[in-house]
Amino acid sequence: MNTAIQAAEEAHNPLVPVVSEIVLALIVFAILFFAIRKFVVPNFEKTFAERTQAIEGGLSAAESKQAEADAKLAELEKQLADARHEAARIREEAREQGAQIVAEMRESARSRGHADRRARQDADRGGAPAGGHLPACRGRHPGHRSCRSHRRGEPGRRGSPEPRGRALPRRARERRLHQHRERGQLMTTAFRGASADAPAGLTSELESKLGSGADASRIGDDLFTVSTLLRSEPGLRRVTTDQSVDATAKAGPVTEIFGGKVDQVSMDILVSAVGRRWTVARNLGDALEHLSEVAIVRSAGDDSARLADELHAYARAVNDNPSLRDALSDPARSVDDKAVPVNGLLEGKALPATITLARQALAGTYRTVAVALKTYQQVAARVHGERVATVRVAHPLADAEKQRLTDALSRQYDRPIHLNVVIDPDIIGGIRVEVGDDVIDGTVATRIDDARRKLAG
C-alpha cells in the first residue's frame, strides 16, 4: 500500500505546467509575433495610409469642385442680373421712345385735324354771301341751336362711324378671336379684313429667309420678344399699326428702337410687318407671335416629328397633373417662377424647340397652357404640310395598326397625318379619331350611350 502511495506521488500533477511546454509555446509565440510585426503590420499600415490619403484627396477634390461650381453659379447669377438690367433698360428706352413717337404722332394728327377742319370751313363758306356769313334761319335768331353746324354729330344719321375722331370698339372681332383661341385654332385664322392677308405674306417671307440659312431659333426668340413688347406698350402698338401713317415713316421708329437688339432677318420681317395694314392693332403682335412659333418649329429641322410627339406628351402631362396645371396657370406667379417646373420636366430630356415653346406657353397670350400647346402642335404639323389626328383608344396600338391608320387618314385627307395616340380606358373599346373639327367616333362607350338613349326614348 505504501508503494502505491509513493507511485501516485511520483506521478505528474496536472495542475502544474510542464516547463518544456512553456518554453516551446514562448518560442512559437515569438516567431508569430516577429512575422506579424515584420510583414503583416507594415502592409496594413500602408493600406490604411493609402485609404486615408484617397479619402482626403476625394474630399479636397469635392471641395475644389464645389468652389468652382459656386464660382460659376455666382458668375451665371451676375450674367443673369446684367441681362435683366439690360432688358429693363431696353424696355425703358422703348417705352420712352414709344411715348415720344406717340406724342409726335398725336401732334401731327392734331395739326392735320386743324388743317382739315379749316379746309371744311372754307369749303362751307364757298356758298355763303360775299360777307362770309351763313344766312340766318327763317324765324330764328342766328345763334339758335338749329342753325349750328351738325357735322360732328350728324343727328340725321344713326350711329356716327367716328365719334370725335375715335374708332368704334371692335368687341365682336375681339370676342371671335378669343373664341378661336379657346378652341386651340391657329391665331391667324381669326384675322379679318386687311389683316387676313398679312400673315400669309409674312410667313412666306419668313420661310424664304429661313431657307437661306438664317438662325431660326434666334429669329423665333426675337419675334416673340417684340410681340410681347407690343402687347405691353399700347402707344407703340398704335403707332406701328396706324393706317394713316406711311410705311416708311413707321419703319423709322421701329428701326431706331430695335436696331442692334434683334437679328437683321428679324428686323427685316418686323419692318415688313409694320408696313402692312392691320384691321385691329393687336393683330400685329399676334402675327409676330405666330411667326415666332413657325421659326421655332423650323429650328427643330429633321426632328419635327419628335417635336410634335414631345409637345403632345408634355400637354398630356399638364392635363393629367392637377397640381402642375394649377401652378402653370396661377396668375399670382411670375413667368420665371412658372418656368422652374417646366425646366425640371424638360431640360436634358426634350428638344430645345420643345423647351422654348413650353416656356412661351406661359406668357398668357392663350387662354390656357393646354390651348397654347395644342396650337403649337397644329403649327408644327402645318409647317411640315401635315395635319394632326388625336386618336383615343382603350389599349395601346401596335406599330402596324398605327401605320395602317395613318395611311388610311392620309388618303382620306390627301395630306400626311401625324398621330397623337391617347390611352383612355373610359372608352372601353373601339377608337375615336379627331382631325380638326372632324370626329370619327367608333368607341364602345359611345355605342352603349346611344343604345341607352334609344331604349329610354
Amino acid at site 82: D
CB 147 within 8 Å of CB 128? no
114: phi then psi, degrees, rounded to nearest 5: -60, -40
Location of C-alpha cell 490604411? 48
| Residue 233 confidence (pLDDT) above 70 | yes
Q: Which residues, in sequence order, are bridge partners of residue 431?
A: 393
* Cα-Cα-Cα-Cα dihedral sign, residues 353, 356, 360, 366: positive
Amino acid at site 65: K
Query: Would residue 184 be called left, alpha or beta, if left means φ above 0 and alpha means ψ between -120 and 50 degrees?
Result: left
Q: In whole numbers, what is the pLDDT of the chain averaged over residues?
A: 77
Specify the pLDDT at position 210: 85
Mean pLDDT of 152-163: 39
Mean pLDDT of 130-152: 41
| Residue 69 confidence (pLDDT) above 90 | no
Specify the pLDDT at position 316: 87
- Cα–Cα distance list, 352 to 233, 287, 299, 340, 409 (Å): 29, 22, 9, 16, 30
Q: pLDDT tens, 254-265?
A: 888 888 888 999
Mean pLDDT of 272-289: 88
Specify the pLDDT at position 218: 92
Q: pLDDT tens, 300-311?
A: 887 877 888 888
Q: Which residues, in sequence order, are bridge partners of residue 392?
A: 422, 432
Mean pLDDT of 399-416: 86
Specify the pLDDT at position 147: 41
All cell numbers assigned to 414:
390627301
Specify the pLDDT at position 332: 86
Q: Which residues contact 262 (CB under 8 A, 6 or more apart)?
A: 222, 225, 226, 270
Specify the pLDDT at position 128: 41
**Closest to 390 in 3D by CA, of 354, 439, 425, 429:** 439
With cut-offs at 50, 70 and 90, classify the pLDDT of residue 106: low
Q: Which residues, in sequence order, are bridge partners of residue 308?
A: none
DSSP tag of 139: T
The total number of residues shown for the chain amounts to 457
Specify the pLDDT at position 255: 87
Lowest mean pLDDT: which of 66-80, 106-120, 254-268? 106-120
| Residue 165 confidence (pLDDT) above 70 | no
Q: pLDDT tens, 412-438?
A: 888 788 788 888 888 888 888 888 778
**Closest to 191 in 3D by CA, of 202, 180, 182, 201:** 180
DSSP output for 219-281 = HHHHHHHHHHHHHH-HHHHHHHH-TTS-HHHHHHHHHHHHTTTS-HHHHHHHHHHHTS--SST
Which one of 132-136, 173-177, 190-194, 343-347 scores highest in mean pLDDT?
343-347
DSSP output for 322-341 = HHHHHHHH-TTS-HHHHHHH
Neighbouring CB atoms inside 10 A of 335's CB total 12
